[in-house]
Structures are given as structure tokens and as C-alpha cells.
Amino acid sequence: MTELGQDLITITQRPDIVFAQGQGSWLIDESGKRYLDLIQGWAVNSLGHSPEVLAQALSEQARRLTNPSPAFYNRPMLDLAKRLVDLSCFDRVFLGSSGTEANEAAVKLARRWGQKQRQGAHEIIGFEGGFHGRSLAMMSASGKPGWDRIYPPMPTGFPKARLNDIESVARAITPSSVAVMIEFVQGEAGVNLADPGFVRELRALTEERQLLLIADEVQTGIGRCGHAFAYEMYGIEPDLLTLAKGIGGGAPLSALLCKERFNCFEPGDQGGTFCGNPLMAALGLAVLNEVCQTEFLAAVRQRSRYLAAGLQRLVKTHGLLGERGAGLLRALVLPGNHAEQVVSAARNLAPTGLLLNAPRPHLLRLMPALNITEAEIDQGLDLLGQALRETAIYMSKPSAFTGGSA
């Protein structure tokens, strides 16, 4: 008998479901069961599954030019860079394929600047709980508990401070510090928001101590928080910023943005086979053309308020601990470590399942498509309520729970 996934290297525990099709906020598996998707590829499908604008952009570009090599310019690469510059406070763009790659590029650029301008300063101060990717260096840059013990020895030069504790940042600064790297909303750690006052103090401190402020907006950027970029919520400008996830609308595209004065790579310092490839750049342009419109972003903020109000009702009804988030990156805090059970119960609901994510044992994360409708939000809240009710029954009889875990 063949086992599902037996030819794949095991990297995670997947449920026995094979997805066959997606449309907007919906996924359909090979048995025909429909799921309302509040994960959306981990916050990547900004416009939901298989939107027509992306299908068109991809097929047109695939017919015209797929990859002339990163050693040459191509039109979508130039247009996407210009669009990002026009939309943001930044002057220059490097295009890559993943958030990890963009963050590695940010760290390399900061270290290069440190060599040239700060006598070799190279340490990047990160935050406890932070998540910046899965290369060895980005695992070191992340503040995920236990990540220093999986693949030792780990790259060094990534001390940690505590989010919303400016004194801890000040204490972490040494003559070797060159940058502070922050997620304004720590997604993987449980949708932890940086306080506006802390971010303003951090900007002032980094300026005073000649440190770069690197914003990792891989998860928060491109409309996810109701603005083109999350830094806009804080009224400050970072020096470097990274994007991935939402900018590709589901495809592997990422970007590093920097101010002109930090544009200090020498030719050959940075690159990669897929950097600035026209297929992905064409998708990025199509996403930005939709998402970064004033009316679209205002609608994301309205949907965010609608979803937050519904989640607060669930908090009251089910005795949960709270709801928080920014835009359409939201979390529901449970009274105990039952998030995986709720995820399984929601997925197993019939005839319609609900897809949720549990980044922490006591916390559910919701990252719907940015164009989810209010009717779909209502349906999602209804399904989530059912899953919470079922889980409450299972929790009182733990042995009765048979659902698999995500």
C-alpha cells in the first residue's frame, strides 16, 4: 500500500488531504470537499487563489520572455523596481525569490555598509521571538527558542533584545553593532505588535547610534496590515525593508528595498539565478496594481474591522482570552494549549471545512485573502465557532479526540 507523501523528504506533518483547486477564498480537495481558507499559503495569496489578473500576467509574460538571466535587464524587473520605489520611501530595489533570501540580502548590505562606514561593525540586533527565515544565518537572526540547537554550529553576530523594551535594545548595542532588524508585527511568534512609542524610540536610538533600521515586512507588507507597508502605521522610515509573501500573490518573489545612501554592494557582492526574473516580476506588478490602490487598502482596513469585531464576539461567547492584530493579520488567544485541536476540528468540519493556522500552542492565526468578502468572513466566523464548540467537548474528554494535527 502506498502512503501519501512517501516519496517526499519529511519536513512537516501534513494531513491526508490533496488540494486540487483554488478560487478566491476557497480550496477544493481531490474528493471535492470545499474549505474556506484563512491561511492563504501563509499570507501569500493577497488576492486569493488563482486570481484572473495573475493568470493573465503570468501567461502573457511566459509567452513573451521567461528569463534572459539576471546579468541582463528585462522590462518587468525595471517596472517592478520603479513601482516599489514610487510607492515607498526607498530608492533602490533588489529582487529575489523568498523572504529568507531578501533578509540575507539585507544583512549582507548592512554588513557591507558597516565595513565601509563603521570600521567593520557587523552585528545585527534582532528580537526574541522574531522570525526571519530558514537559512542558517536567518535562523541565527531569528529569536525562535531552540533554533540555535538544530544545526550547530550557527553563524554568529545576531544578539537579541526584547520587543517593546527599548532599554533591552540599548543594552544589546556594542561598538560592533551595525543594525537592528525588526518585524513590526511578529507573525510566527503569535501576532505580537510593536508599540508605536517603542518604534519611534527605536528609530531615534538607531539614528543616534548610527545603526541601520531593517524592517522585515515579509509578512506585514503589501496591504496585509491595511497599508502598502506596515512602517506607515508608525510614522517612521526604516533604512532597509524586505518583502516577500504577499508581493508575489502566491508565487516566489521577494525584494530588498534601501535608501540611496546604503546602496553599497560592489558588482558581484550579491546575486542569484532567479533575481529579477521577468515571470515573477510580472506577477509582482499585477499584485501591486491591484493591492496598492487607495480604495483597495481602505477596503482591507474595513474588512479588518469587520473580522476583528466578529472575533471579539467569539472571544465573549467561548470564554477566550482575546483577539489582536493589524489589518488582516489577526490572532485569537485561547485559554489553553488547544490550538492544534481547533485547527484539526475546523479542517474536519463537514460538508465545508475551515483552514486555520496555529503558530503557538494557545493561539490561532488568521491571514485571509485581502479581498475576502464580508459574507465569507461571516461564514468563517460561523465555522470557527463550530470548531471551538467541538473542541470544547473533546477537551473535556481528551481520549475522544481523534483528529490529526497540522
Ligand X SMILES: Cc1ncc(COP(=O)(O)O)c(C=O)c1O
Provide DSSP, 159-210: -EE-TT-HHHHHHH--TTEEEEEE-SEETTTTSEEPPHHHHHHHHHHHHHTT
Q: What separation in angstroms does the CA of 268 have from each of 17, 70, 272, 386?
A: 44, 12, 10, 55
C-beta of 67: minimal distance to ligand X in Å? Answer: 20
Give the shortest CB-364-to-ligand X separation in angstroms: 16
Q: How far is the CB of 30 from ligand X (least distance, A)?
A: 26
Closer to ligand X by CB, 47 or 381: give it.
47
Nearer to ligand X, 279 or 387 (CB): 279
CB of 188 to ligand X, least distance (A): 6
Query: Whole-angstrom Cα distance, residue 318 to residue 390?
Result: 11
Residue ranges in 175-234 that form contacts with ligand X under rule CB under 6 A: 183, 187-188, 216, 218-219
Hey, what amino acid is at 10? T
Site map 240..279 versus ligand X, x via CB under 6 A: ----x-----------------------------------
- Residues 27 to 46: which contact ligand X by CB under 6 A? 42
Cell numbers linked to 178: 551595525
Interface pick for ligand X out of 131, 198, 229, 394 (rule CB under 6 A): 131
User: Burial of 273 by CB count in 10 Å (0-12 exposed, 13-18 middle, 19+ buried)?
Assistant: exposed
133 touching ligand X, by CB under 6 A: yes
Establish how many alpha carbons lie within 13 A of residue 258's alpha carbon, considering only the half-sphere containing its beta carbon: 21
Quick one: which of 306, 310, 312, 347 has its CA closest to 333?
A: 312
- Please work out the total of residues on this chain that contact ligand X, with binding judged by CB under 6 A: 15
Grid cell at residue 226: 491595511
Among 111, 118, 132, 227, binds ligand X (CB under 6 A): 132
Stretch that binds ligand X, among 126-134, 257-265, 320-328, 381-389 (CB under 6 A): 126-134
Query: Which CB, 139 or 211, lies closer to ligand X?
Result: 139
363-366/329-333 β-pairing: antiparallel
Decide if residue 25 touches ligand X (CB under 6 A): no
DSSP structure string for 83-125: HHHHHSS-SEEEEESSHHHHHHHHHHHHHHHHHHHSTT--EEE
Nearer to ligand X, 363 or 383 (CB): 363
Which residues in 60-99 contact ligand X (CB under 6 A)? 98-99
Peptide bond into 153 cis (omega under 30): yes
Q: Among 40, 88, 103, 344, which residue interacts with ligand X (rule: CB under 6 A)?
A: 103
Residues forming contacts to ligand X in the complex (CB under 6 A) are: 42, 98-100, 103, 131-133, 183, 187-188, 216, 218-219, 244
